[in-house]
Structure 1
Amino acid sequence: MSVVPKKPRVGVVDVMGMNDYVFALYNDGAIQYWDVNKSFGILEGIVQPMDHSPSWFNTLEYYEEGWTKAYLVQSGKNLLLVVRYTDQAMNSDKKDVDYDLYYETLGFEVYKINPKDTSCEIIDDLGDLALFVGGNYSMCVTVGPKSLERNCIYFTDDQNEDWTLVTEFGGHDMGIYDIKCDEFRPFYEGIDTRSSYCPPIWFVPQF
């Protein structure tokens, strides 16, 4: 990891605020951040993998088996980068499904990013945490007894680019990914998640 010279960038794929900073993730894998307490939000730097590039770098749009998406998530004082790998094919390649276009999530990678010392490390155990990613703001929550599943990623179908290209619209690519076991489980199997105009989103009640 290295900090590269400050310069304008294009192709933002996710934005989040954490502590006194705003972070922007770009489709080339760079993470740019600003200090909001300084005049006009001064650009502090750009974190970009170079010497030790993890597998997600330069693959945030395409990779050899399909597509990737990435999400920024706050976990306490830590900044996490969650990368989602998706398989995509036309129906002629997936004859067992009735969609014009077929896609499904194959797996995830989670990285802890430290902009200050430009370090990046893969996370293979979230402990008693669960991550939520999808079409709206990504979240990290502590798992209590008899509630969520620990060390898992809950994900919704946010393949917005192909939402209206499938026969019954989007909404089918959702589930729970167990990081330790590298397994997928459903959390809802109803057909009412399909929509012609809006992906399913996470809702966090405030009491």
Structure 2
Amino acid sequence: MYTKLVLSSDPSSDDDCIAMLIHQPYDQLSFAKVGGNSWNWLAVDYTFVDCIYHDGWFYAVTSMGVIHAFNLHGPSVVHKTIFPRIQDNNMHQEYIVQAPWGGLLRIYRTVDILEKEQRHNQVVRTLGFRVYRVSLDEQKLVRMTGIGEHALFVGHNASVCLSVKDHPTLMPNHVYFTDDDFETVFSFKSSRRDVGVCNIENNTVTKVVYPELWIYSLPPIWFTPSLIG
């Protein structure tokens, strides 16, 4: 029922925190505020695949490539469509990311689906990623050769881009990904999960650990632990 949840801030320390939810049916959007007693449906579009929060705005992208922007902090919803419909049929999944240097990035993920009828399951294998800069002025996507000294995290979590200078254990110009293929996760629960790290420069994929310990688990996500007691 619930695909992805994105927070505007830490709800334990911010009374103005807002939660944006991508949910079924049809991957629609609803939001709720700390202290509120209900979810509020945003009847603007459907088949949303990703959402992020930045500088007071939620940015949500649909499977057809439309980017919607929402400011939910006031008494009424402020909504803008900031990017037109662009669909790439050669891609399997896409994400929207706030670049640390400014602007928005669109991340496209290509996969290979391996069906195993004798076991009644399917295995999704990531082949690589493509990174595009969103040019709002020209209303087009500009292909990037890499993201330099940064690393991307994508999956069922909110998509993020981090500087390896601030996080030196991360590899630059890499995408850390988890399995978020809807059909595999929910219809083939015993299938191996697609988790790994991809070098954007040459699209080589490596596993995070081997053997994989999450083969029969729920879809894994990335999270940021707090070490402050």
- TM-score band by shorter chain is 0.7 to 0.9
Superposition deviation, residue 166 in structure 1: 4.4
- Find out whether 1:141 has 2:162 as its counterpart: yes
SS in 1 for 2:213: helix
Task: State the partner residue of 2:223.
Answer: 203
Given that 1:99 and 1:167 are in contact with CA atoms closer than 8 Å, whether structure 2 keeps it comes out as no
| Residue of 62, 67, 71 corresponding to 1:31 | 67
Given that 1:154 and 1:177 are in contact with CA atoms closer than 8 Å, whether structure 2 keeps it comes out as yes
Amino acid at match of 1:70: E
Superposition deviation, residue 152 in structure 1: 0.6
Structure 1: which 5+ runs fail to align?
Answer: 1-6
Counterpart CA distance in 2 for 1:164 and 1:8 is: 26
Per-residue CA deviations over 1:148-202 (Å, capped at 9, x if unaligned) read 110010111222322255484342x111111112211222123322234x21111
Counterpart CA distance in 1 for 2:141 and 2:189 is: 40
Alignment identity in percent? 26
Given that 1:133 and 1:154 are in contact with CA atoms closer than 8 Å, whether structure 2 keeps it comes out as yes
Amino acid at match of 2:219: P
- Find out whether 1:175 has 2:196 as its counterpart: yes
Q: When the two structures are aligned, how many residues end up with a matched partner?
A: 183
Counterpart CA distance in 1 for 2:122 and 2:149 is: 36
Given that 2:174 and 2:197 are in contact with CA atoms closer than 8 Å, whether structure 1 keeps it comes out as yes
Map of 1:92-103 to 2, 5 A cutoff?
100-103=121-124
Superposition deviation, residue 128 in structure 1: 0.4
Counterpart CA distance in 1 for 2:139 and 2:56 is: 18
Task: State the partner residue of 2:3.
Answer: none
Map of 1:13-24 to 2, 5 A cutoff?
13-24=49-60
Task: State the partner residue of 2:126.
Answer: 105
- Find out whether 1:70 has 2:91 as its counterpart: no
Given that 1:12 and 1:27 are in contact with CA atoms closer than 8 Å, whether structure 2 keeps it comes out as yes
- Find out whether 1:155 has 2:177 as its counterpart: yes
Counterpart CA distance in 1 for 2:190 and 2:58 is: 37
Superposition deviation, residue 30 in structure 1: 0.8
Per-residue CA deviations over 1:111-143 (Å, capped at 9, x if unaligned) read 111435534211212110000111111111111
Task: State the partner residue of 1:188.
Answer: 209
Q: TM-score, normalised by structure 1?
A: 0.76
SS in 2 for 1:163: helix
Counterpart CA distance in 2 for 1:191 and 1:105 is: 15
Superposition deviation, residue 21 in structure 1: 1.7
Counterpart CA distance in 1 for 2:152 and 2:105 is: 10
Q: TM-score, normalised by structure 2?
A: 0.69
Counterpart CA distance in 1 for 2:125 and 2:84 is: 28
Counterpart CA distance in 2 for 1:116 and 1:195 is: 45
Task: State the partner residue of 1:118.
Answer: 139
Task: State the partner residue of 1:4.
Answer: none
